[in-house]
Structure 1
Amino acid sequence: MCLVGEFVAANAPDDGMLHEQQLSSRWKAPSAGLYKLNSDAAFQGMRMGIGGILRDEEGVTVVVYCSTKNGKFDVAVGEPIAMRSSLKTIMEAGYRNFILETDNISLFHHLKKASTPPCYFGSLVKDILTLASRCKRCDFSFVKRSGNFVAHSLAKLSFSFSEYRVWLEEYPHYYI
């Protein structure tokens, strides 16, 4: 059922516009007044690492986040779990004006089209859209894996911690 939903969403008419930012291979700062949240997941045995980083219009790091979840996770659900967790964290820190950027093209397309297929992936997309609706402004962006390096590094770094970590002022500079 989920595959049928993804097929229908992938073949739905698009607005015909693919912006350069959506196909970028390197990270770019958001426009004035916005923040950009990048998130990613990494996998190690029966654990999933989650990393998130929020940066401002000058590229200055504002919030850094690391966490792990125990269990066997598929990559398809790891990415939206990472985005949802990172989004919750920055919203708890008081941010409501941002761009959510991912290196997962399927997640990006589902968010852009507000498509929630009837499966676990779809329920995660729905959670993200619900959280995003509580924000003043929340846009979605795609960047190739090379442009999401910092978030991926943070996801891998999370395996060295036994608990949830959030940095608001000081953060592990060697990863950023």
Structure 2
Amino acid sequence: MFFMLNWQSSVKLRLSSIWEVLPAGVFKINTDAALNFRNNISGIGVAIRDCNGHVMASLCQHIGTAYQPQIAETLAILRCLKLAVETGLVPAVVESDALSVVNAITSKMVPNTEVGMVIHDILCILRNSNFISVKLLPRLANKVSHSLARLALGYVGEFV
């Protein structure tokens, strides 16, 4: 019993140090991608939480191609934006652990590459919708969306 209480306390401490409280009515969206090059597949995971941390929507989407990591992460951000708009879960802060993608989006620099085409679409959605920011999230704090992305590798289709 003591061990369980201790474990729960330490988990709560770690989670509270990761969770950033948002104003009422603002949603937090975490997104990630997973890749399996051997089977040539990718997966996208999205978790949308309210300002209290309650999950309002989640998504796992199987993609029948193993994209390069930067492309997969960019597609994951694009899909999370579309999901938030489709479900009306905005205004929102988007978080991803993909440093190069977050930097490209926040700098509004659109490279002349495949990733650039997706970033252009992301910037259009951000400009025309009620999104507050796109931020870098430590990988350790992105476990839910990472787990959803890995789960998507084992299923065909999209589950919301």
Please tell me the TM-score bracket, short chain as reference.
Answer: 0.7 to 0.9
Aligned partners of 2:110 and 2:117 also within 8 Å: yes
Cα deviation digits, residues 116-141 of structure 1 (max 9, x gap): 11111111111111111221233111
Structure possessing the higher radius of gyration over alpha carbons: 2
Give me the whole-angstrom Cα distance separating, in 1, the residues matched to 2:62 and 2:152: 6
SS at match of 2:83: helix
Which of residues 104, 107, 115 is equivalent to 2:98? Answer: 104
Among all aligned residue pairs of Structure 1 and Structure 2, give the percentage whose two residues are the same amino acid.
27
TM-score, normalised by the number of residues in structure 1: 0.76
Q: CA RMSD in A?
A: 1.5
Unaligned 5+ runs, structure 2: 1-16
1:84 matched to 2:113? The reply is no
Give me the whole-angstrom Cα distance separating, in 2, the residues matched to 1:141 and 1:155: 19
1:28 matched to 2:23? The reply is no
SS at match of 1:148: helix
The equivalent residue for 1:133 is: 127
Structure 1 stretch 116-125 or stretch 134-143: which is displaced more? 134-143
Give me the whole-angstrom Cα distance separating, in 1, the residues matched to 2:112 and 2:25: 35
| Superposition pairs of residues 62-77 of structure 1, within 5 angstroms | 62-77=56-71
Aligned partners of 2:74 and 2:115 also within 8 Å: yes
Aligned partners of 1:66 and 1:154 also within 8 Å: yes
Structure 1 segments of 4 or more deviating over 6 A?
none
Q: How many pairs are equivalent?
A: 142
TM-score, normalised by the number of residues in structure 2: 0.83
SS at match of 1:160: coil
Q: Compute the displacement of 1:161 (Å).
A: 2.3
Give me the whole-angstrom Cα distance separating, in 2, the residues matched to 1:139 and 1:74: 25
